[in-house]
Structure 1
């Protein structure tokens, strides 16, 4: 088993990889931290803080490159923030938490895979009600699962042909940012916010560097289909691993 000293390097790679498609990496942070830490609430709190660090960089870069469009994004955000806050206050057992997270990740990864293997990248606008409903439901799932939610929202929007992948990546980045902050507030109110400062600062440094590199790559005209496909494989693996480990005691 890897030593905890290797975590910063591992998290650097995760942040680089996930941020390149507009994600924070919270799902993988949770999965890996669960192998090293025993405090369930410390795992959730740490993952959300790292999410905020990564996607803050991504959001700034998307805004500077004029990919971020508040007129398109605001309905997803206003409905998700309060529900992410309330979702974060739901107190689940560790087993139930990881089973919910793992199942959601598998479905998310499959949806992402289906989208990126589709040769047609058409797009069409959603109604206001559809945006509010989708943003709110994903926000609630984000709060309960302890991650920002972009990894659920992005493949859904791509599968439904809402916009081009780069616009979706920009929305996912800011969506994760606001909902991770809302989730942290929810943990604080529920008195379940726990961190280990001596470990946290090393992980923050690692994900800030990795997230900066990944977000820069994402803002350029690269082949996001390949990045999206590779990320989908990683998401499915993480989800499957969580379900097998916490549901059946199988470690892969």
Structure 2
């Protein structure tokens, strides 16, 4: 049976999987912590903090490898930050929160699987209003759900063939970073930011190690098709588990 002592190792594995495709892992951190922690606000606060630790590494590496393109990315970011901040201040019940998160994760995971199944056509550019609208919509969902939002944005952009997978992964990484920071600020303003320092530093160590390895693999252009597919399955499982547990009382 899993105990609290196993969390740093489990978070290392999650960070490795998620960072390899440009994500932070906040959704799975939330799901796992909900099994061990009772303070709902502590769960959200810790997940956002861990997100920041993981994607900071990936963002740095993407910038260094010149995949980061601020000219293409800024409309997604400027529209998402304020609504992520406001969304984080909404006071949902724990049940409503996990149902919203779980449903969004199931759809996101399915979109991720479709990305690996279908043949990719030529990339296409979006108009400025389309980027702003998509960034704002995902930013609001990120703030409400308590995660960075890249796990929603990336599959959407891949299905719409916006750019190459590495470019989308770079955008997802920085998108998660800025919106996780905005979310933490929103929680602080709403006086709902709380963490257990003794546990958090151990979790940070686990996700930094896992995130470093995953980000390295992603930036070195390894074939991440299998790892990405497994990550999609993990996302669907986490979402399904949250919906069944908090909507129907079924634990799987």
- What pairs with 1:94-133 in structure 2 (closer than 5 Å)? 94-133=94-133
Separation in 1, partners of 2:168, 2:230: 17
Equivalent residue number for residue 35 of structure 1: 35
Q: How many residues align?
A: 252
Q: Tell me the residue number matched to 1:251.
A: 251
Q: Displaced runs of 4+ in structure 1, greater than 6 A?
A: none
TM-score by length of 2: 0.99
Alignment of 1:151-166 (within 5 A): 151-166=151-166
The equivalences for 1:32-181 within 5 A come to: 32-181=32-181
Deviation at 1:224, TM superposition (A): 3.2
Q: Is residue 122–residue 164 contact of structure 1 (8 Å, CA) maintained in 2?
A: no
Residue range with higher mean Cα deviation, 191-200 or 218-227: 218-227
In 1, the alpha carbon distance for the partners of 2:4 and 2:242 equals 19
What is the TM-score of this pair, normalised by structure 1?
Answer: 0.99
Q: Is 1:75–1:128's contact at 8 Å kept on the other side of the alignment? A: yes
Aligned-residue CA RMSD in angstroms?
A: 0.8
- Indicate the residue corresponding to 1:220 in structure 2: 220
Residue 31 of structure 2: SS of its match in structure 1? Answer: helix
Per the alignment, residue 20 of structure 1 pairs with: 20
Which structure 2 residue ranges, 5 or more long, are not aligned?
Answer: none
CA deviations 1:87-116 (Å, max 9, x no partner) are 000000000000000000001111111121
The CA distance in 1 between the partners of 2:49 and 2:120, in whole Å, is 36
Question: Which residue is 2:204 aligned to?
Answer: 204
Q: For residues 251 and 86 of structure 1, what CA distance do their matches in structure 2 show?
A: 32
